[in-house]
Amino acid sequence: MLAAPGIRVNGDPVWLGLRVLEDHDEIQAGPGERLFFSAERLAEIVPCPGGPRPVHCPRCHQLIEPGQLAVQCPGCQTWHHQTAQLPCWSYDARCALCPQPTALDAGLTWTPDQAHA
Q: What is the rounded CA–CA span in Å between residue 23 and residue 7?
A: 18
pLDDT digits (tens, 9 = 90+) for 4-59: 999 999 999 998 999 999 988 999 988 889 999 988 889 999 999 988 999 999 99
pLDDT digits (tens, 9 = 90+) for 82-102: 999 999 999 999 999 999 999
Helices marked H in 33-83: none
Residue type, 65: E
Task: Enter the pTM of the model.
Answer: 0.71
Q: What is the rounded CA–CA span in Å between residue 95 and residue 91?
A: 9
pLDDT for res 45: 97
DSSP state of 2: B
DSSP per position, 102-114: --TT---S--GGG
Q: Where are the domains of the chain?
A: 8-39, 41-104
Query: What's the CATH architecture for 41-104?
Result: 2-Layer Sandwich (3.30)
